[in-house]
Chains A and B, each alone.
Chain A
Amino acid sequence: MSSIGTGYDLSVTTFSPDGRVFQIEYAAKAVDNSGTVVGIKCKDGIVIGVEKLIASKMMLPGSNRRIHSVHRHSGMGVAGLAADGRQIVARAKSEAHNYESTYGEPIPIKELADRVASYVHLCTLYWWLRPFGSGVILGGYDRDGPQLYMVEPSGVSYRYFGAAIGKGRQAAKTEIEKLKLSEMTCRQGVIEVAKIIYGVHDEAKDKTFELEMSWVCDESNRQHQKVPEALLEEAKAAAKAALEEMDAD
């Protein structure tokens, strides 16, 4: 639902007559126009995948990472303005570190998500700050099991089984809903996420992209890490094969 907020959209401290804060909605547009980020919660862990649109052929493959580790047990996939996303990750790392220094145990994922959301929301309260132009999908594995959260530029944070943000989020969410996540292991989940990202990528409109994936699961010893090279290649191959099958129809 887009409308021009003429006059009510100049400051994040102004409400429109129908109760909207347009600056926050415009910030969300920055996220909507970025490469897709997908996260799913499988029965033994979390998988996060990013459609990293490559701006220039001169860039080194593997650079400009969109997925970052926040702590040993958790990681974040970022969509939207890259610099804003880097700041959110930095804050999350700092919160996780401080929590462990004070309480002597790794920060529970729910608490981490709450703190990141509070920080993002904070920046929507003052006229001298602008909202973050990025959203994150936070996945982690703590003593209560694997958990997946998504934080939007407005500061809302919900817990999900599957989440997607960015350009292809509608199509991605449709695909995720078809999966039986509670019966899937992360190994299978990696393949599925790759298929989804290849599937939603629009060859006509967008430039080439690089697939970036990470996981936290029993197989990775509950540590957040990049998906191992061999499995990543297997996933890419499966995704490309699935695309050709679709085209063949």
Chain B
Amino acid sequence: MDRDATADVNAPHSMGTTIIGVTYNGGVILGADSRTSTGLYVANRASDKITQLTDNVYICRSGSAADSQIVSDYVRYFLHQHTIQLGQPATVKVAANLVRLLSYNNKNMLQTGIIVGGWDKYEGGKIYGIPLGGTILEQPFAIGGSGSSYLYGFFDQAWKEGMTKDEAEQLVVKAVSLAIARDGASGGVVRTVTINSEGVTRNFYPGDQLPLWHEEVEAHNSLLDILNASSPEPMST
């Protein structure tokens, strides 16, 4: 048992993950869980899988943590240069194409699925899904990561065109929390990033505030909280 535990800690970090990107009337919302696992060990239970590329373009990363980080670093660098050359913010389409070129041309060495989402003044809010082989597909919503398997049917039923910002945010949080409930490789907290013409807003939903689904157990508070709640002195009668 001890040998298994150490082997896990040194294994490559992969993000089991559930990642989502949806468009709504006026922008996009990106959502993700926060679990980074190495085998059975949770290396980081509060990771941030939604990464900034430019002021108006963010990506959700899944698969190998190292691969997705290096890809996003390169694309951030290329986009920065592109923005300087053009003299105006890069479009979401350009960001997605740069990710796609790296993913496709290095497909033998990389293992990362990425969702690119953002807002620009020409096309408005856009979501692009770039799965493992380096395909690029513009979609009204995209899901990815191991937890997404449990969401295909859910989105078929729950997705609709032209939602409001709040409707879309609630949909994303609900979806990630459903996936967390069923996928062992997804967990922790739910992070969302909303991007529209007015700018970018980050939101955070702690794990114990997410809705409980069937047969899930309530989160336990720490023993200290329980003791403090009942009386001011722990040892009093």
Contact = CB atoms under 8 A, between A and B. Distances in A.
A77 interface: no
B94 A105 contact: yes
A19 interface: no
24 contacts: A102-B97, A102-B98, A102-B101, A103-B82, A103-B93, A103-B94, A103-B97, A103-B98, A104-B93, A104-B94, A104-B96, A104-B97, A104-B100, A105-B91, A105-B93, A105-B94, A105-B97, A108-B86, A110-B86, A110-B87, A111-B85, A111-B86, A114-B85, A143-B122
Interface string B154-194: 00000000000000000000000000000000000000000
Interface of A: 102-105, 108, 110-111, 114, 143
Contacts of A108: 86
Nearest to B101: A102
Chain B: number of interface residues, binned into ranges: 10 to 19
Contacts, number: 25
A108 B100 CA distance: 21
Interface of B: 82, 85-87, 91, 93-94, 96-98, 100-101, 122, 136
A145 to B, nearest CB: 12
Contacts of A102: 97-98, 101
A147 B176 CA distance: 46
A114 B84 CA distance: 13
Nearest to B82: A103
A104 B95 CA distance: 9
A102 B105 CA distance: 12
A184 B93 CA distance: 34
Contacts of A111: 85-86
- The 7 lowest CB-CB distance pairs between A and B, nearest first, are A104-B97, A103-B94, A143-B122, A103-B97, A105-B93, A104-B93, A105-B94
A95 to B, nearest CB: 12
Contacts of A105: 91, 93-94, 97
Nearest to B90: A103
A5 to B, nearest CB: 36
B111 to A, nearest CB: 23
Nearest to B97: A104
A102 B122 CA distance: 19
Nearest to B121: A143
Residue in A104, A108, A110, A114 with the greatest tally of chain B CB atoms within 10 Å: A104
Contacts of B87: 110
A59 to B, nearest CB: 42
Nearest to B96: A104
Contacts of B122: 143
Given A104-B100, A108-B86, 13 more contacts: A102-B97, A102-B98, A103-B82, A103-B98, A104-B96, A104-B97, A104-B136, A105-B93, A110-B87, A111-B85, A111-B86, A114-B85, A143-B122
